[in-house]
Structure 1
Amino acid sequence: MQHKNEIVIILDEPIKRGTETITQISIRKPSAGELRGISLVELGQMNTTALQQVLPRITTPILTTQDVGKLDPADLLEIGVEVAGFLVKKADKAAFQRE
């Protein structure tokens, strides 16, 4: 079940981790503390390094930095768009959706 503060992404290319295969990732809206040490500008621009820092803090199953590095570019872009969307105020999202 998806909540507005949690998104489930079905991966085009599953991640192999030992005997485990990750086919989907749940991403939840980060709290301010989970963004420590990360530039919000870089995260909003979907900077790969910023995503590698924040995704282990907000994903289920927990993605490691190495897992993020193995993501298919299309999956990384979709995840980045969702994470960047969490940084936008509700009123701004509503205005964008109306246009």
Structure 2
Amino acid sequence: MTDTTDNVVVLDQPIVRGETTIEQITLRKPNAGELRGITLSDLLQLDVNAIVRVTPRISSPTLTEAELRAMDPADLVDVGGKIAGFLLKKSDKAALFPAK
């Protein structure tokens, strides 16, 4: 079972939406349908457009594409890294990131 804290991105630059401040987002592993229209290699290469298109489909709270385009680059890279990690098989993750 996956530890859901691994799917949380704490934002360096919180997103302000009206009177609400979003300080962290939770991402869930996308299913194949949520990856429609996206080239998987673009996600693995942390392509900004691919990250911006997929994240609203898998984030909680749901972020808009405009919010993602205005996001701090360090936060966007963190989001993209989590998404890229979802695309790896468990055995590949274990080989790349051995348990401490």
TM-score computed with the length of structure 2 as normaliser: 0.90
Runs of 5+ consecutive residues of structure 2 not aligned to the other structure: none
Q: Which residue of 1 aligns with 2:7?
A: 7
What is the percentage of aligned positions where both structures have the same residue?
A: 49
- The letter of the residue matching 1:91 is S
1:1-99 → structure 2 map (5 Å cutoff): 3=3, 7-98=7-98
- The answer to whether the 8 Å contact 1:15/1:23 transfers is yes
Residues in 2 aligned to 1:42 and 1:5: alpha-carbon distance in whole angstroms: 25
Distance 2:81 2:9 in 1: 11
Tell me the alpha carbon deviations over residues 49-94 of structure 1, each in whole angstroms, 9 at most, x when there is no partner. 0011100000000010001011111111111111101111111111
Structure 1: unaligned runs, 5 residues or longer: none
Equivalences, count: 97
Measured after TM superposition, the shift of residue 19 of structure 1 is 1.5
Distance across 1 between alignment mates of 2:4 and 2:22:
22
Q: Is the 8 A contact 1:28 1:59 kept in 2?
A: yes
Provide runs of 4+ in structure 1 moved above 2 Å.
2-6
Q: Confirm or deny: 8 A CA contact 1:14 1:21 kept in the other structure.
A: yes
- Give the deviation of 1:95 after TM superposition: 1.3
Question: What root-mean-square deviation, in Å, do the aligned CA atoms of Structure 1 and Structure 2 show?
Answer: 1.7
